[in-house]
Amino acid sequence: MRIYTPDGEIGDAPGPLAAPRSVMSGARIGILDNTKPNAGVLLAQIAERIAERTGATVSPVETKNAALAAPDDVIARLEKEVDVVLTGSAD
C-alpha cells in the first residue's frame, strides 16, 4: 500500500490587505473585469448599487485576461484613478 501526503512546497504568504474604507461617500469605485461571462455586468451593477447607497462614483472599467495577472499599466491606472476596486468574478 502507498500512502501519499499532501505536503509539498508552498508559495510565499500573501501580503497584507489594504485597510477597509470607513466611509464610501465620495469614493471612486473602479472595476477590474476579468472578461468571464457576465463578470462585467455583475460588477457594474454592484458598483452602481454601492454608488447609489453611499454617494460614491463609478470610475474606469478595466479588463484583463482571466488567466493572467493584470498588467502593471492597468494596476497603475487603477491606483491613480480610484479608491476602491471591485473584482473577483469566477466560474
pLDDT digits (tens, 9 = 90+) for 67-80: 888 888 888 999 99
**Domain span including residue 41:** 28-86
Q: Give me the pLDDT at residue 90, please.
A: 67
In a domain, 34, yes or no: yes
Q: Give me the pLDDT at residue 13, please.
A: 81
Angstrom CA distances, 7 to 4, 12, 14, 19, 83, stand at: 9, 15, 19, 32, 39
pLDDT digits (tens, 9 = 90+) for 22-33: 899 999 999 998
pLDDT digits (tens, 9 = 90+) for 30-57: 999 888 888 888 999 999 999 999 999 9
β-bridge pairing 57-63 and 84-86: unpaired
What total number of domains does the chain contain? 1
In a domain, 35, yes or no: yes
In a domain, 91, yes or no: no
In a domain, 60, yes or no: yes
In a domain, 7, yes or no: no
In a domain, 38, yes or no: yes
Q: Is the pTM of this model over 0.85?
A: no
- Average pLDDT (6-11) is 76
In a domain, 52, yes or no: yes
In a domain, 75, yes or no: yes
